Structure 1
């Protein structure tokens, strides 16, 4: 690890796995299979903030159930902060190649030359929707409706109510009300919503998925939540159990935000059952970086919060900032309760989705840094050549 001019980098390598490699027939099995894709990504939730991964304070039964049913990438890495991770997913490139080196000050703007994964899926006949946190530029050319999304339901900036002395700012009414009843941009128009922000995003996404499920096109639903990003605000019914257990208000609210996410994941999975979507839909859950809060208070004393044994958290190039949960569920297609130890990352989602969708990429577009995970989805013991992943942390303003 080294530091130079405000840039941190870490090189991670993994040896090729021992075992049989995928056969040619297996390698083609998922290519072009064209599943619906639902990608849920929470904000600032660390590897240790799930009960299935060892948290002693939180109970997340729905995500625990998803974990048990999923193929899990156990060495999956993202960038240390919000916008960089999002740009890597959208572009298949390391964030510093997209011009995204920060979360504000115009460094959150993803290069307009980027051919996004949403555009690639559109070209393959998918309908696309985003519900929640975009955070890749608030100016019109950078907005998701101009980057490949048919349905757009987002807040502004990097968090509901955020405002900075630059182009990155949420809609003014949200600066006072924050996470309840937010004003949202829906297909170019500002609308007043009702409820807690995570509930609002999932409710809207589910309504859109219901419309799409019987259509003649597969769909890509991207649900990047604003929670549990600070400030720590949660509905009282979610905070109350943790306050009664002796936690301070901020920690109780954070835990409540995570339990609320878990409830919404449970609702999503319930609707997938009702609508018969599991057999033709790939559901992915991950987080955008490590947890942002490492200490809390319980019974009046400061305590370290559970981090799954990783050093540091959000904003750090150590594993606590980059190593995140990553669960993939596709009933009858992917293994259940299967761990994939191969080194994988956010940049791999783009080529994976492209291969699954059978998309044809244009000749003139950005070079993809990622690698398709399809061979590992088909055979977790497939040969996976060594490679290095670079984690960038350069939080300087526009020059």
Structure 2
């Protein structure tokens, strides 16, 4: 039975604590916070995720990310999908996008967001997103991460951006996907506005405005408050009010920041103008620092409530940094994430490599760094393992790899399996690496297969992080090996491919295309 928000909120109020300071919960299983940021690039932080600091690391100020990194492990080779919905469904299901088929961003029921292409028609992918039932057309039925945690005794809280299921489907409401509490999550992937003075994109009279108006924050309408801060305040109140139930909590803190539309967070905007930033650049930087303050507020709350030593924090972005427009200083598009190539929507590193930090007190060595590659669907089995959930009855096949052993030992070993990306779609923008592609990374080698031309590109990421040298012509054996591996994987998961307009034939898998 699908619960309504109002029903659970009444139940939640019964857990409300009395006056006085709340102390640590009497439970052994850890609280778990997944703190996910929208469109945050690998370098949009003062924490360096490369072998050296970059100019962007020196520009941004994220002291709480620095604090988290000093208390946990930094992942220098963490990956997600190149756009948001595929990543979020992968995190919640443990499935790779090629398997769950939510390969592009979702919004309206049965409506594809794919832009028209002169040579390709795109497959009937799962435009309705992730669902808790198997009766919704063009969707993937899953037993979600919060549902499994809830079944194992966790209080599950969602805050911020959801973007799991299309408008008018059960999956649009996080409550139906296993969350006990939903704060401001719905079908849309971005806010109409980050400003309380603009009712977060809703109508001036306070009525909802579809699809971009952020729901559930009416108490902040008309106030001079940024969306990031409103979400943080409301989330901390919910957590505080729930502590007396002595359940461990799972918080999915999913900020709408730093997605467009860029709005200035006045608390931090002027400092970047004073540093010589352009208006757009300062807007974005202020949003990054506002997100970082939220992280710090979460950590300080845990300290005050004596929960720090029994709470895991996992920080990640859902895709690479937004780079299709110049923010003011480079003078060129697609250059914002350098030395990474391109940005959001791209198969190149700028579109898929993301910042990631994990703090697990008494388990993860403080101020540690790993080069072990991870991808966003790995979070699903890892969080379940952290929570002590030994057996699951998920209806879906789990592709993610449990990396708890990496957290515990920090051994710099090779990943057990290759990592795969599949995007048989059109994002609507153009630029380097943006287009219908399938990609595999195995060790240091990365192969990109372009659906429109059947061209293959080969890069050695360890030696060429900027993907400046295509080595395909000089390494035919490696191209064949990776083509075979990628083709076998796509075939195994029954991955969808576009249709070639001229011939009406399906784009072939890469292992049956001559290497070129």
Cross-structure match for 1:40: 35
- Residues 364 and 217 of structure 1, relative CA distance in 2, 3 Å threshold: closer
- 2:157 and 2:308 mapped to 1: Cα distance? 19
Aligned equivalents of 1:284 and 1:144: distance in 2?
20
Deviation at 1:56, TM superposition (A): 2.4
- Among 353, 356, 359, which residue is 1:326 paired with? 356
Name the SS of the counterpart of 2:216 in structure 1: strand
Give the 3 Å change call, closer, same or farther, for CA 342–237 of structure 1 in structure 2. closer
Alpha-carbon distance between aligned partners in 2 of 1:243 and 1:177, rounded to the nearest angstrom: 34
2:71 counterpart of 1:64: no
Does structure 1 conserve the Cα–Cα contact (< 8 Å) formed by 2:382 and 2:402?
Answer: yes
Q: Secondary structure at the match of 2:47?
A: helix
Matched, 1:296 2:324: no
1:231 alignment counterpart: 261
Partner of 2:159: 131
Mapped partners of 1:177, 1:34: distance in 2: 39
Partner of 1:336: 366
Q: How many angstroms does 1:246 deviate by? A: 2.9
Matched, 1:245 2:275: yes
Question: Is the contact made by 1:281 and 1:330 (CA closer than 8 Å) also made in structure 2?
Answer: yes
Find the residue that maps to 1:263 and give its secondary structure.
helix
Query: 1:212 and 2:242 equivalent?
Result: yes
> Alignment partner for residue 191 of structure 2, among 152, 160, 167?
160
Structure number with the bigger relative contact order (C-alpha 8 A, sep ≥ 6) is 1
Secondary structure at the aligned position of 1:51 is classed as: coil
Q: Distance in 2 between matches of 1:56 and 1:87?
A: 33
Larger radius of gyration: 2
CA-CA distance at 1:392 after TM superposition: 2.2
Q: Aligned-residue CA RMSD in angstroms? A: 3.0
Residues 196-227 of structure 1: CA deviation (Å, up to 9, x unaligned): 11111111111122223343211000011011
Q: CA deviation at 1:151?
A: 0.3
* CA deviation vs aligned residue, 1:111-135 (integer Å, no higher than 9, x gap): 4420000011011100101000000
- Structure 1: segments with no counterpart, 5+ residues: 1-31, 163-169
Please say if 1:86 is aligned against 2:93: no
Deviation at 1:305, TM superposition (A): 6.3
How far the C-alpha of 1:34 sits from its partner, in A, is: 2.4
Q: Does 1:116 align with 2:136?
A: no
Question: CA contact under 8 A between 1:96 and 1:392: conserved in structure 2?
Answer: yes
Provide the C-alpha distance between the structure 2 equivalents of 1:388 and 1:133, rounded to a whole number of angstroms: 29
Aligned residue pair count:
354
Residues of 1 paired with 2:352 and 2:184: CA distance? Answer: 25
Shift of 1:237: 3.5
Larger deviation, residues 263-272 vs 32-41: 32-41
Provide structure 2 residue ranges, at least 5 long, that are not aligned to the other structure: 1-26, 113-126, 133-140, 194-199, 428-497, 499-516
> Alpha-carbon deviation of 1:391?
1.3
Question: Judging changes above 3 Å, is the alpha-carbon distance between structure 1 residues 108 and 46 closer, same or farther for their aligned structure 2 residues?
Answer: farther
1:395 CA displacement = 3.1
Is 1:141 the equivalent of 2:161?
A: no
1:48 is paired with a residue whose SS is coil
Taking the aligned partners of 1:301 and 1:343, their CA distance within structure 2 comes to 33
Pairwise CA distance, 1:172: 4.7
- The answer on whether the counterparts of 2:174 and 2:185 sit within 8 Å (CA) in structure 1 is no
Are the equivalent residues in 1 in contact too, given 2:334–2:342 (CA < 8 A)? no
Residue in structure 2 matched with residue 387 of structure 1 by the alignment: 417
Tell me: CA distance 1:270–1:308, structure 2 relative to 1, closer, same or farther (3 Å).
farther
Normalised to the residue count of structure 2, the TM-score between the two structures is 0.63
- Give distance in 2, aligned partners of 1:286 and 1:363: 26
1:314 — aligned with what?
344
